[in-house]
């Protein structure tokens, strides 16, 4: 690529004159002598044409040069494109429509007009036509390169995502070797864009030397670099832009666009220049993150946005290059105008730092007003440093940037004023004293006075007065203590409830004497009625006497006389009026309705009347027989005793009037009993259920001799067969003509029996001896066939005999004339069993019952041992035994009678301080562990206590314990609390069942905002039905602060802010005085915080800063009228921020001064002065001139033209 260089030209910068560039001909262009130019003009920062610095040289002449990815959708590009990332095809576009460029890689015969360092993404559309040059693709993943068609005929190269005809595709309009397509990293994009980003920032710092007029025109200064600085919003507001002259190689234009973030631009039209001027204009978007181009206008010039994503939605063209981080080309064309000029950035680094003046102890921040790398004389390398010198000190800073260095120095002057109030003073209370400060500029006493001397009359034992003065703008402080002597007696009236004590305290100093004769500072009194006490204090001969009254409140409450009702009745209890009510039931109304269930129930009430507690109690007695009966269950034939538990007189449905009756019902029967006590009647029923179980073995069975049969009982609880087996079914094989089997079962505790006969037949005479139990019958059967004759004369095969003793029988069987006689012996067994005489024991005692010996035993208890041990629980219990002796059953029964008081007592639970009645339910004589012998006793234990009671009846003694649990719940509100006035605090009780605060709230926690110095809160809770109380004091501290009224000042002025309040002050400026002086440069809100006793109050005050338009900038200049008559008056309107002398001169466009140098003294602010052009060497009509104005540290120019 050919470089464009400056030939036979050089540029000089007049930084003081700031005339931009003055062209000086080195050949035949300009031959005039310039020796008459003011010698004060200094030439700097020469641009050497022999070292051309083209800012876009590393873009290699590509029409679009993109760091990362690019997408193309429509339009075309005249020149080549280079992409550092992936290429995405979304439509149809022609690339390198006019030229392939001048970059050749790897000895190719064609320039590389499309360089893609990444891969191709095939999205949609037809694809890309590469009209000139070759393509270079760094990553061919997903791409297929063809240089032959499907018929294997040679063709122009195309790249697709699959087959030869696949779309979208990249069509190269010439044949390119397949092997030359995949070549990556041909261009160092990262190095190029690193340089581009640096260049963009450098250009953004160039000083503007051209501007856009009100009628949207721009006039370039020939033969110099023209710089236009414009914001994004200003650019968007322009409807059009007209060039009054055209840029060229010697007159390039850089347009710095300050559009941070995302920027959208509806492109306007440029007039006065043609497409070819795009080679000399650079649009520098140095701080945008994205740029979206809309509309139909054309950009003439290069779009230089190395840090931005550029989205071209516009239908118009870009006549220049596109340098972007990412690029989306959605429409319009890129025309191939490569940026040609060479630009050297001048080294115009300047650093300023302001001198500061501070008061000793203050810190100050010094800021170097420039960009670059910083080095302070303190060694710090930040742009700003904070210093706290203790004496006047000089600080220097050096800044380095882009090879340029600048240094400046700031002086921090430290002021340290002093003030004195003298030695501390002691006076008598009530005396007046004058306090005087050493001289100062302003005074602010802690009393708020602002004079040098103040007169005070202290009222405290010691009062410290502070002064804060300003001397030369700095604050100095001192303090003096004024001591006073006085008893300073203070007493406070008290109010208590009757029975309470209160401590009276004399606040003050000295010796004290109370009307009670006591000489201590505090005394405790317990007056029975409202009483006034006096106290006298003496200190250093000063005496002071005061009275204090203790008001005694004694409220009363009454529930009336005790009440007697029948058990189950309801009664209403009503208190005399009060403020709050709390019954022992937990209810809080004046009246409650109760239904007592105990012989005596006492109800208590605790009320509050005028903050004091009053109590009363009422007993409600209940009368009731307390009748209790228990249903019974017996076996048929048994007797049972029914007992009515309770008190009073009894009447049974049987007509009996005893407490207990004995009945022997044959079937289930219900009996009623009525009890009467003190006119209260109660009737209850008791049912005696009679159990009569049945068992069955079914019909008799006949079997052949030798057969087996299963015998089954109907269901029962237990089984006992005559065979001794205990299962519900048994299997037998009888060997006799007839065998009977018996069963004895128990069902629900009662016995039932049955028997079954099993018969056998045999043709052969067989008789067997028999053995029976006395009283039993036995059938003797002659086994066999034929006719039979027994010795009894009977002729049946079987006979039944019931011998009383052992007997021998004979039987003769005849069959077919044959006779056979046999004897059979029936042995009669008669066993006996005995349990002895009936027994009497005490209830709960154990007794052993023993049977005479037998083979087996079966007691009515179900036990099967010879002896059993029993503990009967009924008045009479009968026990039966059934034994077997040699196979026969024998039975006996014994009655065991029990005697017992039947003692029953129930544990109780009360609240501490309550009484409770303990009652021993039972019969006999009673003896309590308290020594009392009544059936009921009343106790009032102070802690959980166990009592014993012994009952004796018929020599039987029973002792039981009864425990009275005393509940003594506790509640705690914690330690006293100290809060700041106005703060809210949550008071929380330890857990309870109900809560009642002195505020009337009934939750576990309450939130309060106390308004007094001390507020006490009480709580009364119930825990498990009992009351507990506690109290907590909440002390408040207060702090006040008022920052004063808002103020308005003009920029540069100071404002004094004075706070009113108590406590220690802290301003947001970190100052701790009551007043501060501030000089804000913008509207600022200051905060003051006052702290006292840990409490904090905050207020704010705002100082509004109004900018004087005449002092808003270092200088502002306008000149009117333009154009002006060449012999007329040119009026200059000027504003400066300080008094100074300015110099103005008029120059011709060739750099020659015309007319004199004029000095003018200006006051700060706005002013104007006329320039009589007739005095300046007869200016020519229709000619451009430059008015140069130089002030203190600044200079500026105004170009004007004279009228024709």
Rounded Cα distance between 489 and 925, Å, is 73
What is the mean predicted confidence (pLDDT) over 949-962?
90
Measure the CA–CA gap between 240 and 67, rounded to whole angstroms. Answer: 31
- The CA distance from 84 to 90, in Å, is 19
1184-1202 in b/e form (b: 16+ CB < 10 A) is ebbbbbbbeeebbbbbbeb
Query: How far apart, in whole angstroms, are the C-alpha atoms of residue 1143 and residue 1132?
Result: 13
> 683: helix, coil or strand?
strand
- For residues 1179 and 1131, membership in a common domain is answered with yes
pLDDT of the residue at 124 = 95
pLDDT at 348 > cutoff 70? no
366 found inside a domain: yes
Backbone torsions φ then ψ of 884, nearest 5 degrees: -115, 130
Domain count, the chain: 12
Whether 174 and 67 share a structural domain: yes
Cα(77)–Cα(94) distance, rounded to whole angstroms? 6
Residue 984 in domain: yes
1023 and 890 housed in the same domain:
no
> Residues 511, 586: one domain?
no
Co-location of 1134 and 1025 in the same domain: no
Same domain, 193 and 272: yes
pLDDT tens by residue, 592-638: 999 998 888 999 999 999 989 999 999 998 887 888 989 999 998 88
Q: What pLDDT is recorded for position 51?
A: 53
Lowest mean pLDDT among 811-815, 834-838, 870-874, 1097-1101: 811-815
Is residue 40's pLDDT more than 70?
no
Residue 346 pLDDT exceeds 70: no
- The last residue of a domain, from among 985, 1018, 1037: 1037
What is the C-alpha separation between 346 and 404, in angstroms, rounded?
Answer: 10
Among the candidates 428, 461, 485, a domain finishes at: 485
Give domain status of residue 950, yes or no: yes
CB contact set of 749 (below 8 Å; sequence gap of 6+):
635, 691, 717
pLDDT at 345: 60
Summary mean pLDDT of the chain: 88
Residues 228, 327 within the same domain? yes
Residue percentage of the chain with pLDDT more than 70: 94
Residues 475 and 498 in one domain: no
Q: What is the CA radius of gyration of the chain?
A: 64
Residue 271: what pLDDT? 92
Which H or E run includes 469? strand 462-471
Residues 202 and 331 in one domain: yes
Does residue 812 form part of some domain?
A: no
- pTM value > 0.75: no
- pLDDT of residue 219 exceeding 90, the answer is yes
| Structure confidence at residue 427 (pLDDT) | 81
Q: What is the pLDDT of residue 657?
A: 93
pLDDT tops 90 at residue 717: yes
Per-residue confidence (pLDDT) for residue 77, from 0 to 100: 96
> Among residues 667, 664, 660, 666, which one has the least CA distance to residue 642?
660
Does some domain include residue 1079?
Answer: no
570 in any annotated domain: no
- Counted residue by residue, the chain has a size of 1204
CATH code, domain carrying 884 = 2.60.40.10
pLDDT for the residue numbered 6 = 28
Contacts of 332 (CB under 8 A, 6+ apart): 75, 312, 314, 315, 316, 317, 318
Residue 322 in contact with residue 65, Cβ under 8 Å? yes
Residues 193 and 323 grouped into a single domain: yes
Chosen domain end from 870, 899, 928: 899
- Same domain for 456 and 406, yes or no, is no
Is residue 1028 in a domain? yes
Does residue 447 share a domain with residue 549? no
> 1169 - beta bridge partners?
1132
Alpha-carbon distance of 811 to 796, in angstroms, equals: 10
Domain that holds residue 1117: 1110-1201
Whether 1060 maps to a domain, the answer reads no
């Amino acid at each position: 690529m050919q470089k464009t260089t400056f030939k036979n030209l050089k540029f000089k910068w007049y930084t003081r004159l700031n005339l931009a560039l003055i062209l000086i001909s080195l050949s035949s262009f300009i031959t005039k002598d310039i020796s008459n130019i003011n010698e004060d003009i200094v030439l700097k920062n020469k641009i050497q044409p022999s070292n051309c610095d083209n800012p876009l040289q590393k873009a290699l002449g590509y029409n679009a040069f993109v760091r990362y990815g690019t997408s193309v959708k429509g339009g075309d590009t005249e020149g080549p494109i280079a992409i550092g990332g992936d290429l995405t095809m979304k439509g149809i576009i022609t690339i390198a429509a006019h030229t392939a460029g001048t970059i050749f890689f790897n000895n190719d015969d064609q320039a590389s007009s499309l360089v893609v360092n990444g891969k191709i993404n095939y999205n949609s559309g037809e694809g890309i036509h590469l009209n000139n040059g070759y393509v270079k693709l760094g990553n061919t993943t997903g791409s297929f390169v063809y240089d032959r068609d499907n018929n294997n005929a040679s063709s122009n190269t195309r790249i697709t995502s699959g087959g030869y005809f696949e779309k979208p595709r990249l069509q190269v309009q010439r044949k390119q070797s397949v092997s030359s397509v995949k070549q990556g990293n041909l261009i160092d994009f990262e190095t190029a864009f690193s340089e581009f980003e640096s260049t963009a920032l450098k250009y953004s710092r160039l000083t503007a030397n051209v501007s856009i007029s009100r009628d949207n025109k721009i006039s370039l200064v020939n033969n110099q670099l023209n710089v236009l600085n414009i914001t994004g919003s200003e650019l968007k507001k322009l409807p059009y832009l007209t060039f009054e002259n055209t840029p060229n190689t010697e007159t390039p234009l850089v347009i710095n666009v300050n559009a941070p973030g995302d920027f959208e631009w509806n492109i306007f039209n440029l007039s006065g220049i043609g497409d070819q001027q795009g080679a000399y204009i650079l649009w520098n978007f140095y701080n945008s993150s994205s740029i979206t181009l809309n509309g139909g206008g054309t950009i003439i010039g290069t779009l230089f946005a190395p840090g931005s994503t550029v989205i071209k939605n516009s239908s118009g063209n870009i006549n220049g290059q596109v340098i972007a981080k990412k690029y989306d080309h959605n429409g319009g064309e890129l025309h191939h105008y490569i940026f040609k000029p060479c630009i050297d950035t001048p080294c115009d680094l300047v650093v300023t730092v302001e001198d500061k003046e501070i008061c000793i102890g203050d810190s100050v921040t010094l800021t170097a007003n420039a960009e670059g790398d910083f080095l302070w004389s303190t060694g710090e390398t930040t742009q700003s440093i904070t210093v706290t010198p203790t004496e006047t000190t000089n600080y220097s800073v050096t800044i380095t940037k882009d090879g340029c260095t600048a240094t400046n120095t700031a002086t921090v002057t430290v002021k340290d004023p002093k003030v004195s109030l003298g030695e501390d003073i002691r006076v008598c209370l009530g005396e007046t004293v004058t306090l005087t400060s050493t001289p100062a500029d302003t005074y602010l006493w802690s009393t708020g006075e602002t004079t040098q001397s103040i007169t005070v009359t202290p009222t405290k034992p010691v009062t410290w007065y502070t002064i804060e003065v300003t001397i030369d703008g700095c604050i100095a402080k001192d303090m003096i203590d004024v001591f006073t002597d006085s008893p300073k007696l203070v007493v406070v009236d008290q109010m208590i409830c009757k029975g309470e004590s209160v401590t009276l305290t004399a606040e003050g100093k000295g010796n004290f004497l109370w009307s009670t004769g006591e000489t201590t500072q505090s005394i405790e009194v317990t007056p029975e009625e409202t009483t006034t006490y006096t106290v006298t204090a003496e200190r250093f001969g000063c005496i002071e006497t005061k009275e204090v009254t203790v008001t005694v409140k004694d409220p009363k409450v009454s529930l009336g006389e005790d009440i007697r009702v029948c058990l189950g009745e309801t009664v209403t209890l009503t208190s005399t009026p009060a403020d709050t009510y709390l019954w022992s039931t937990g209810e809080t109304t004046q009246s409650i309705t109760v239904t007592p269930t105990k012989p005596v129930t006492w109800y208590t009430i605790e009320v509050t009347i005028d903050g004091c507690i009053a109590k009363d109690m009422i007993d409600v007695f209940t009368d009731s027989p307390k009748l209790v009966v228990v249903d019974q269950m017996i076996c048929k034939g048994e007797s049972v005793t029914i007992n009515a538990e309770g008190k009073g007189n009894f009447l049974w449905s049987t007509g009996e009037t005893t407490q207990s009756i004995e009945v022997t019902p044959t079937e289930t029967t219900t009996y009623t009993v009525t009890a009467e006590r003190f006119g209260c009647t109660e009737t209850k029923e008791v049912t005696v259920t009679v159990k009569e179980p049945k068992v069955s073995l079914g019909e008799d069975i006949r079997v052949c001799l030798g057969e087996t049969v299963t015998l089954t009982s109907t269901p029962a609880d237990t089984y006992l067969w005559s065979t001794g087996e205990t299962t519900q079914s048994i299997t037998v094989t009888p060997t006799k003509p007839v065998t009977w089997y018996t069963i004895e079962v128990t069902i629900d505790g009662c016995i039932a029996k049955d028997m079954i006969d099993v018969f056998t037949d045999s043709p052969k005479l067989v008789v067997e001896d028999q053995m029976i139990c006395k009283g039993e019958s036995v059938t003797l059967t002659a086994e066999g066939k034929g006719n039979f004759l027994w010795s009894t004369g009977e002729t049946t095969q079987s006979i039944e005999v019931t011998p009383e003793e052992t007997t021998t029988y004979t039987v003769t069987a005849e069959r077919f004339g044959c006779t056979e006689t046999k004897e059979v012996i029936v042995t009669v067994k008669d066993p006996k069993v005995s349990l002895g005489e009936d027994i009497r024991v005490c209830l709960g005692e154990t007794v052993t019952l023993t049977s005479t010996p037998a083979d087996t035993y079966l007691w009515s208890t179900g036990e099967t041992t010879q002896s059993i041990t029993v503990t009967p629980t009924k008045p009479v219990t009968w026990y039966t035994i059934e034994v077997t002796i040699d196979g026969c059953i024998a039975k006996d029964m014994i009655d065991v009678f029990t005697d017992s008081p039947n003692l029953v007592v129930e544990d109780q639970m009360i609240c501490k301080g309550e009484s409770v009645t303990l009652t021993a339910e039972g019969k006999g004589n009673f003896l309590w562990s308290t020594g009392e012998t009544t059936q009921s006793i009343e106790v009032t234990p102070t802690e959980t206590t166990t009592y014993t009671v012994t009952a004796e009846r018929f020599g039987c003694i029973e002792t039981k314990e009864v425990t009275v649990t005393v509940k003594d719940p506790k509640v705690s509100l914690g330690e006293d609390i100290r809060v700041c006035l106005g703060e809210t605090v949550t008071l929380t009780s330890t857990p309870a069942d109900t809560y009642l605060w002195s505020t009337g709230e009934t939750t576990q926690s309450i939130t309060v905002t106390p308004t007094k110095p001390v507020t006490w809160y009480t709580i009364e809770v119930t825990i498990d039905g009992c009351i507990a109380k506690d109290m907590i004091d909440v002390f408040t501290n207060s702090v006040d602060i008022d920052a004063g009224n808002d103020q308005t000042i003009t920029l540069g002025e100071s404002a004094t802010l004075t706070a009113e309040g108590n406590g220690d002050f802290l301003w947001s400026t970190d100052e701790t005085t009551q007043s501060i002086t501030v000089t804000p440069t913008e509207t600022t809100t200051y905060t003051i915080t006052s702290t006292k006793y840990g409490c904090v109050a905050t207020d704010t005050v705002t100082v509004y800063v109004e900018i004087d338009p005449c002092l808003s900038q270092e200088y502002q200049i306008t000149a009117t009228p333009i154009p002006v008559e060449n012999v007329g008056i040119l009026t200059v309107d000027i504003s400066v921020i300080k008094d100074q002398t300015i110099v103005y001169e008029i120059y011709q466009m060739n750099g020659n001064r015309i007319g004199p140098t004029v000095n003018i003294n200006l006051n700060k602010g706005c002013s104007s002065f006329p320039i009589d052009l007739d005095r300046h060497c007869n200016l020519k009509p229709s000619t451009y001139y430059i008015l140069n104005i130089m002030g203190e540290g600044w200079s500026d120019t105004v170009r004007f033209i004279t009228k024709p």
